[in-house]
A and B are shown apart, each in its own frame.
Chain A
Amino acid sequence: MACVLFSRPDHDVILSYLYIYSKELVAASISLGHKTINKEKQYATKRNIVGIIQKQKPELIMFNGHGNEKVICGHDNEIIIQSDSNEQVLCNTITYSLACSSNAELGPLAVVRGGCFVGYESDFALGRDPDSEAVPHRDKIAKLFLEPSNILFNSLLKGNEAKEAVEKAKRKMKENIWYLNTTNDFPEASYYAPFLFGNYLSLVVHGNKNASIM
């Protein structure tokens, strides 16, 4: 079984959605028998995360957080991984980064000497139902954006190759875009579709596309 590391900050509204939707991934990792290290909320710090990567050498890592082309952040937007600084700690692991644009520059650099980086080359869009703010896990719109991401990471947890996990996520995104364009369930649905399509275009794998934890 593999060692799996989660970084799950939760200090603002957007991150709380990622935090809640990724709970099931932590549970899935445990139930699959992986050694699961979950650093969440105030424990998603550079010191904790980088320390664990260096000592435990996880085969699979998931980052929730804010980011840009050069960085992935943790609790209170502390920079955890930065290109041309410490991106090499991700070498020889499979990393999934749900942090905006982190697969534009940081991702490719991180896997120059091996490993695999899955993430978004531009901004990750997240829609939500304003009426569900108090209950994000029941938000029918947020689910359409975050379900493909969970399918992707679940696939990696089960030992599928990175390219296969991405293909599954993209298939689900297409289904959800189709749904948004055709449903009568809520009138604003079609206006969310272009943003989900942006996620579809920007999700890519860098490094070894055949990498898996098995």
Chain B
Amino acid sequence: MTRENVDLEKLKREIVIERLRQAPPNINISFGSADGKFMNRDELIKEVKSGTVLGEKIIKIQLEYLKAFKTKILVE
């Protein structure tokens, strides 16, 4: 991986963490967890910060969502 790629990955992670930080602490999401539990804001941020598989999925979803506004998929 090039230095440029590493920085881009870091930037994506930081964008998602900042977006999640703005959410109220009591948001509750279940997202691919077979343990049957919901996660709150801080638990979601922890997954992203730690770079877990779940954290990477959260980054992907958040960035796809931002891209959707550019492609207008949500207003078609």
A interface residues, Cβ below 8 angstroms from B = 11-15, 66, 68, 73, 77, 100-101, 122-130, 141, 174, 177-178, 187-188, 191-195, 197-198, 201
Contact = CB atoms under 8 A, between A and B. Distances in A.
Contacts of B35: 12
Interface of B: 20, 22-24, 26-38, 40, 57, 61-62, 64-65, 68, 74
B28 A129 contact: yes
Contact of A14 (B38, B61, B68): B38
A197 B65 contact: yes
14 contacts: A13-B38, A14-B37, A14-B38, A100-B32, A100-B34, A101-B32, A124-B32, A125-B29, A125-B31, A125-B61, A128-B29, A177-B74, A178-B74, A194-B65
A193 B65 contact: yes
Given A126-B29, A129-B28, 17 more contacts: A13-B36, A14-B37, A14-B38, A77-B34, A122-B57, A124-B32, A125-B29, A126-B38, A128-B28, A128-B38, A178-B74, A191-B23, A193-B65, A194-B62, A194-B65, A197-B74, A201-B64
Contacts, number: 83
Most chain B beta carbons < 10 A, residue from A13, A73, A191 = A191
B70 to A, nearest CB: 13
B33 A197 contact: no
Contact of A195 (B29, B40, B68): B29
B23 to A, nearest CB: 4
B27 A127 contact: yes
A174 B28 contact: no
Contacts of B38: 13-14, 126, 128, 130
Nearest to B68: A197
Nearest to A178: B74
A15 B36 contact: yes
Contacts of B65: 193-194, 197-198
Contact of B57 (A15, A123, A174, A197): A123
Contacts of B27: 127, 188, 191-192
